[in-house]
Chain A
Amino acid sequence: MLFSSPRFFVFVTVLLGLLSLPVSVRAKKSILTAASCLFYAAWDYRYLGLLALVSVIDYVAAARIHTAAAPRSRRMWLALSVASNLGILAYFKYTNFFLATLAGVIGREHPPMLEILLPAGISFYTFKSMSYTIDVFRSEIEPCASYLDYAMFITFFPELIAGPIVRASVFLPQMDRNPGPNRSRVAIGLSLFLLGLAKKRLLADRFAQGADPIFAHPEWFSGGTLAAGALCYAMQIYCDFSGYSDMAIGTAKLIGYDLPENFSAPYISRDITEFWRRWHITLSSWLRDYLYVPLGGNRRGALRTYVNLAATMLLGGLWHGAGWNFVVWGALHGGALAMHRFLRQRGSTWQLPAPVSWALTFVFVCLCWIPFRAATFSTSWTFVTRMLTWSDGYRWIPENTLLTIPVALGLLLARRLENASVPTPRWLEAFDAEVVRDPVSGWSLRLGVGTVLGAFSVTMLLGLIWYFAAATTSPFIYFQF
């Protein structure tokens, strides 16, 4: 069920109505859990059992970890949890990738492929569930007192399919809340949802119209067209994923819960390290805390640090998809992170001017999106070589490339507002808008219609979506992971 579809609007409206009923908190949690299961089953009811299996294994494992006295027993239950989650993920996501790779190694032309349907959200909910048992093992959190609370955490539909990856330490403390809409949360939630919807329908889907034909057949197009296509995709994936995250966070706020921030104006980063502090924040922090740090982090010397960085990003790339192009993408970013760390530690005497370092970072990130998006490794090679050699071909520069301008302006505004010490600028107050901050979601922009400019802006935003959004919406990019 896409967030931008009429079905979803009906679903959320009915749910909010049910959560407004004068019933107990426990009853509301049951309603919410049931609604989340219905949301997941709307994709395919057959895989609801898999979600239940993961939740039961980890709920029991965490409870056993907490009560077990012997360290060996605690480690055994942790191993069971991690192995079951990774095993399920490996089977559904990587079986055919391993088979194809093995066949390539032994020289077999037609490897046996299994018909395996990738369950929606499996990459996200397995990571979420693993973080729960690991945090219990580390004694950072207490296990859930009731299975209902844990089930609600695991199935929470706004972030079930494509994140943000919410940790138990962030979500479980909110379990005491009485779910349901209230005036202030509705204002912020609807604002976030509307802004996310605009990013998705007005921007991401329009950028997709430009990028899709170019990435489908890079051999047709000129070098300039390919460069425009790469830019379109860079904008598409940002608007698509951050738009989805905004809608997820906004929906959660409508219901009464806070989800963590997932994007923080990543495309104005001045170096690759900063980029990964701003892009898909919940994934990068998960990888840092559950992979990079256990590998040793930066505590075992410089060389080991670089290896740990590269390995973490390589696996991070593989997490996105079962394909060598994703491994290449991860390796490129891992290499860049290691290189950046090396240069910083050498106390580099040459400092690039900020615009230059921004440009280098942005161009590097855009180039890395090419193997991420291309259907195959050979397609990405064709794309890059034809673009960099400025090959001749059909010149078709999508007009939607111009939408990069409003994206850039939005990023600059976000950069201005993210500073916690900056109150709402006076000019934003004229739009009846307010910067709202909370410790979990970071900063959000609450829109209002109490001033002429405010009502004008909201009317224009709704109208632009209605009149100028692409008629057909493409699925959210991260739904495929």
Chain B
Amino acid sequence: MALGSRTAGVAGSVLGLLCLEAAVRTTYSVRYAPEAGYVNVNAPGATFVWGREGHGISHWEAHGIRRGPSPRDTAGPRVLILGDSITEALQVGDEVSFVSQAEMRLRREPRPVVLNAGHSTFSVADYIFHAPRNLETFAPRWTVVVADASDFTYNAWDKTKPRFAASPDGALRVEYVDAESPTERRFGRFTPFTKAVPYAFIRFREFRAAAGKEPPLFRAGRDAAAASSATEPDYPIEEEAAMLGRAYAGRLSVLLLPKFDVSPPFVALTPIEQRIRAGLLAAGVRVVVPEAEFRALGRQKKCPYGFANLVFNEGHLNADGHAAVAEALAREIDDAVF
């Protein structure tokens, strides 16, 4: 019996929506869960599929920790790796992430358990604010914060999330701001059932942001977002570094990720990066920069950042970048912990 056109139309649309749901799940398949005394974490037991940048499948355990390599000697000393989306590394598989690779490179007995606690959007302010929780939950022998210059500057002063602020007496403090994303707030309860609905909202926000960058009406040649003529604020890097060191009782290293230049010498620390390194060292914090590893990549005509489905030399670490950073991280863990 032939379907009426209206029924056929509805049936076809429903079929289309189901196929779109399947297609979205190859690109954006995430699930979050609340964690008492902390932020929403990647849900324990969840498998994330990420195709917006790179193609990664990641598995998540309790407390927002990414699954590590197996077999694992759980008796080994714990090393906690904190970082943002670069450490979280949704773009690559579990075994490719630099945290997993670093653990596999360690040759000590018992082999340390290197915990990947990367959380997208985090900055140095978040690591300081959540230090008591991190130290109590994981009891690490050592902590490594993976950061770049932005995590000490504008990211750490972003008003929409936990940030540094100046107290009335001029002292530096960290202010807590509930940073639950609008997507999670509106659609968090749907994510166990559908990814297309929350992802549609994310796309709406992206299109709205892009529409805001359209040229102004009626007057060509002016940028919609006029380049700010204001100079970069003078961030209190040294104080931030000291706070970070105190928060982790001095058992801390910072792995500072530099930008990569495709031309030799491939890596050259900017003035702000040099200042961050000096500030951390002055605060008694160990600092490691994967300069040699990135230069080796450059000599092989490989770039540590960027994926073939997005932009060259921009965005997150790719497989080559993860391998390079893993080398530096493993060496630092070996030196610092043992």
Residues of A within 8 A of B (CB): 2, 5-7, 41-46, 117, 120, 209, 213-214, 217, 220, 222, 392-400, 432, 449-460, 463-464, 466-468, 471-473
Name the residue in A7, A41, A451, A463 with the highest tally of chain B Cβ atoms < 10 Å from its Cβ: A463
Query: 26 A-B pairs, CB-CB below 8 angstroms?
Result: A6-B211, A44-B221, A46-B219, A209-B311, A214-B312, A220-B262, A394-B301, A394-B302, A396-B306, A398-B309, A450-B9, A451-B5, A451-B9, A452-B12, A453-B12, A454-B12, A455-B9, A455-B12, A455-B15, A455-B16, A456-B15, A456-B16, A463-B20, A466-B203, A468-B23, A471-B209
Contact B12 A467 (CB under 8 A): no
CA distance A382 to B23 in the complex (A): 40
CA distance A297 to B166 in the complex (A): 78
Choose among A456, A468, A471 the residue that contacts B12 (Cβ–Cβ < 8 A): A456
B contact residues, range:
35 or more
Residues of B within 8 A of A (CB): 3, 5, 8-13, 15-17, 19-20, 23-24, 27, 196, 199-200, 203, 206-207, 209-211, 213-215, 217-221, 262-263, 301-303, 306, 308-313
Residue of A whose beta carbon sits closest to that of B206: A471
Residue of A whose beta carbon sits closest to that of B17: A459
Chain B residues in 8 Å Cβ range of A41: 218
Taking the nearest CB of chain A, how far is it from the CB of B252, in angstroms? 35
Chain A residues in 8 Å Cβ range of B313: 213
CA distance A366 to B42 in the complex (A): 46
Contact A393 B301 (CB under 8 A): yes
If the complex has contacts A7-B214, A117-B220, are A466 and B9 also in contact, measured as CB distance less than 8 A? no
Chain B residues in 8 Å Cβ range of A397: 308
Contact A472 B301 (CB under 8 A): no
Contact A213 B13 (CB under 8 A): no
Q: Tell me the dominant secondary structure on chain A's binding face.
A: helix
CA distance A394 to B266 in the complex (A): 13
Chain A residues in 8 Å Cβ range of B17: 459, 463
Contact B303 A467 (CB under 8 A): no
- Given contact pairs A7-B217, A451-B5, a sample of 5 additional A-B residue pairs in the complex whose CB atoms are under 8 Å apart: A44-B221, A45-B218, A222-B301, A452-B3, A471-B210
Contact B12 A394 (CB under 8 A): no
Taking the nearest CB of chain A, how far is it from the CB of B179, in angstroms? 22
CA distance A170 to B131 in the complex (A): 73
Chain B residues in 8 Å Cβ range of A399: 308-309
Taking the nearest CB of chain B, how far is it from the CB of A206, in angstroms? 9
Contact B311 A459 (CB under 8 A): no
If the complex has contacts A220-B262, A454-B12, are A467 and B23 also in contact, measured as CB distance less than 8 A? yes
Contact A449 B13 (CB under 8 A): yes
Contact A449 B308 (CB under 8 A): no
Chain B residues in 8 Å Cβ range of A394: 262, 301-303, 312
If the complex has contacts A6-B211, A222-B301, A456-B19, are A467 and B219 also in contact, measured as CB distance less than 8 A? no
CA distance A209 to B23 in the complex (A): 21
Contact A454 B9 (CB under 8 A): yes
Task: Rank and list the top 8 A-B pairs by shortest CB-CB distance, nearest first.
Answer: A455-B12, A459-B16, A450-B5, A44-B220, A463-B20, A456-B12, A471-B206, A452-B12
